[in-house]
């Protein structure tokens, strides 16, 4: 999805299986029958034609294995060439061309009770003119889950990332507003959760997470966030789920240039609703409030909403999210309220040709940081074609705009990518889902 917040994820068994069945119907097994390397090639190709700056807020840049995948390896390699009209994303535009070579490896171990995913990627980024930005980037993740008893499940995740970014990171662990320029950043994150099924209709969850964020630019706010969460979920019917979520969070942010650190404690309480119309359509809603333990801070309304459609050959997603807290990557370490709206469309034109388009808009509340109103928008469109040999070819276009009343930056560009992958992973049959009507 376009942006993510772990506290915003209200999941139900019905939605879980409906999504799994839809994903399998549009590609997993059908593509593998046409070519054994296709699945990994698509994964590598997605990385090759995605715009240069991944989402450092989470391990999204390393695609997870399908929920029904069995144990096995997945390897891919790719190279992309990108041209941008404003590579540094500042007022004084400077065009440049970028080349990125990339290698991705992933391994899945799965037993009747355990599931372990390990993935790593390494990239070499070279700019034609802006040689000071040349660097080696990496991302590594380890995810594990275990069914301890018939009622109790546990999961944990470790992530380390070093790459370029042009977006702030929210204390909830999601993407924030567009930054004033392109910066190199590193994030280290760890989280864990326990889920206990009280009855067939009720589940409780407790969890904890920690994330450390640092930017090479000393004038941007770096720091860390630690949080504990609790959630109660109730399955009202075969298609409707309600949830109640609470999070206590402590964050520390400040500029390395000045050395000052700002500590903020926050409490968030939200309610969630998920409804699965059928295996094609689902919707979710989340609403609540956030209270910051800081001088002059007022409670802020937070929440989000989403709509998902998955057809035989196309899919559509729309999502709105409102978060509160001190974002990492901003020039000032103060509380802000950030709203983000995004839409995404995907279509499988043929067995080998896929198209997707994404658009997002974000804006911040100036009353919470004393700064001018900041707005950002970005959009992209990609075409990906898989050759019979298993080599993937991708062509993309993107545009970004940031406006904070006094500074306007616009960047657009095109990119071409090639990728090749190998995979020995196969999917298990999807069990019948009694929750999907």
Q: pLDDT per residue over 53-93, tens digit each?
A: 444 443 334 557 887 888 899 999 999 999 999 888 887 78
In a domain, 153, yes or no: yes
In a domain, 113, yes or no: yes
Question: What tokens were used for 218?
Answer: 């000393």
Question: What tokens were used for 308?
Answer: 């998902």
Share of the chain above pLDDT 90, in %: 51
Least trusted range by pLDDT, from 40-49, 261-270, 403-412: 40-49
In a domain, 270, yes or no: yes
Model pLDDT, residue 208: 97
Give the Cα separation of 365 and 425 in Å (integer): 46
In a domain, 382, yes or no: yes
Question: What tokens were used for 108?
Answer: 């899945």
Indicate whether 424 pLDDT > 50. yes
Model pLDDT, residue 63: 56
At 237-281, the pLDDT tens digits run 989 999 999 999 999 988 776 667 888 899 999 999 999 999 899
Model pLDDT, residue 146: 95
Question: What tokens were used for 354?
Answer: 């896929």
Q: What is the mean pLDDT of residues 14-29?
A: 34
Q: What is the mean pLDDT of residues 151-163?
A: 95
Model pLDDT, residue 295: 61
In a domain, 435, yes or no: no
Name the band, by pLDDT with cuts 50, 70 and 90, for residue 294. Answer: low
Q: 231 or 32: whose pLDDT is higher?
A: 231
Q: What is the mean pLDDT of residues 283-312?
A: 89
In a domain, 428, yes or no: no
What CATH number has the domain bearing residue 126? 2.40.160
Q: List all residues 6 or more positions away from 185 whose beta carbon is below 8 Å from its beta carbon.
A: 56, 162, 163, 164, 165, 213, 214, 215, 216, 329
Could you tell me the end-to-end alpha-carbon distance of the chain, in angstroms, rounded to an integer?
25
Indicate whether 33 pLDDT > 70. no
Phi-psi region of 223 (alpha: psi -120 to 50; beta: other; left: phi over 0): left
Tell me the whole-structure pTM to 2 decimals: 0.80
Model pLDDT, residue 363: 87
Give the Cα separation of 296 and 288 in Å (integer): 20
Share of the chain above pLDDT 70, in %: 79
Q: What is the mean pLDDT of residues 128-152?
A: 93
Model pLDDT, residue 429: 56
Q: Going by DSSP bridges, is the β-strand pair 281-293/408-423 parallel, antiparallel, or unpaired?
A: unpaired
Domain coverage including residue 217:
6-423
412 neighbors 395 (Cβ within 8 angstroms): no
Least trusted range by pLDDT, from 138-152, 227-241, 281-295, 420-434: 420-434
> Rg of the chain over CA atoms, in angstroms?
21
In a domain, 403, yes or no: yes
Model pLDDT, residue 212: 94
Model pLDDT, residue 408: 84
Name the band, by pLDDT with cuts 50, 70 and 90, for residue 187. Answer: very high
CA 67 to chain centre: 17
Average pLDDT along the chain: 81
Name the band, by pLDDT with cuts 50, 70 and 90, for residue 213. Answer: very high
Q: List all residues 6 or more positions away from 88 whose beta carbon is below 8 Å from its beta carbon.
A: 94, 130, 181, 182
Q: Going by DSSP bridges, is the β-strand pair 375-386/72-84 parallel, antiparallel, or unpaired?
A: unpaired
Question: What tokens were used for 381?
Answer: 């469109």
- Provide the β-strand partners of residue 144: 116, 156
Model pLDDT, residue 371: 59
What's the domain count of the chain? 1
Q: What is the mean pLDDT of residues 141-148?
A: 94
In a domain, 18, yes or no: yes
Q: 308 or 176: whose pLDDT is higher?
A: 308
Q: 8 or 359: whose pLDDT is higher?
A: 359
């Amino acid at each position: 999805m376009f942006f993510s917040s772990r506290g915003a994820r209200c999941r139900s068994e019905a939605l879980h299986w409906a999504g799994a069945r839809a994903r399998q119907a549009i590609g997993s097994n059908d593509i593998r029958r046409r070519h054994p390397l296709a699945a990994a090639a698509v994964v590598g190709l997605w990385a090759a034609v995605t715009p240069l700056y991944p989402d450092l807020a989470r391990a999204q840049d390393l695609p997870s294995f399908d929920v029904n995948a069995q144990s096995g390896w997945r390897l891919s390699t790719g190279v992309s060439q990108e041209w941008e009209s404003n590579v540094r994303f500042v007022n004084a535009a400077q065009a440049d061309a970028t080349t990125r070579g990339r290698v991705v490896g992933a391994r899945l171990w799965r037993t009747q009770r355990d599931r372990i995913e390990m993935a790593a990627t390494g990239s070499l980024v070279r700019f034609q003119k802006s040689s000071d930005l040349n660097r080696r980037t990496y991302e590594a993740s380890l995810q594990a889950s275990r069914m301890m008893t018939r009622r109790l499940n546990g999961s944990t995740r470790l992530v380390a990332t070093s790459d370029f970014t042009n977006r702030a990171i929210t204390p909830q662990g999601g993407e924030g507003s567009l930054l004033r320029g392109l910066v190199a950043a590193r994030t280290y994150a760890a989280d864990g959760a326990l889920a206990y099924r009280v009855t067939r209709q009720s589940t409780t969850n407790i969890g904890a997470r920690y994330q450390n964020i640092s930017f090479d630019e000393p004038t941007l706010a770096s720091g860390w966030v630690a949080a504990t969460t609790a959630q109660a979920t109730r399955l009202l019917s075969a298609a409707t789920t309600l949830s109640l979520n609470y999070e206590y969070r402590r964050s520390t942010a400040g500029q390395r240039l000045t050395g000052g650190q700002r500590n903020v404690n926050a409490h968030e309480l939200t309610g969630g609703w998920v409804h699965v119309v059928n295996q094609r359509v689902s919707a979710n809603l989340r609403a609540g409030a956030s209270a910051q333990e800081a001088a002059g801070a007022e409670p802020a309304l937070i929440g989000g909403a989403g709509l998902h459609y998955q057809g035989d050959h196309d899919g559509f997603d729309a999502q709105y999210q409102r978060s509160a807290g001190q974002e990492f990557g901003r020039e000032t370490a103060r509380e802000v309220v950030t709203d983000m709206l995004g839409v995404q469309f995907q279509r499988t034109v043929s067995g080998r040709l896929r198209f997707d388009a994404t658009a997002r808009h974000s804006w911040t509340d100036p009353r919470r940081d004393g700064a001018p109103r900041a707005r950002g928008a970005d959009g992209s469109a990609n075409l990906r074609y898989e050759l019979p040999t298993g080599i993937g070819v991708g062509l993309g276009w993107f545009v970004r705009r940031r406006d904070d009343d006094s500074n306007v930056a616009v960047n657009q560009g095109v990119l071409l990518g090639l990728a090749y992958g190998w995979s020995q992973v196969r999917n298990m049959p999807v069990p019948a889902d009694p929750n999907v009507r």
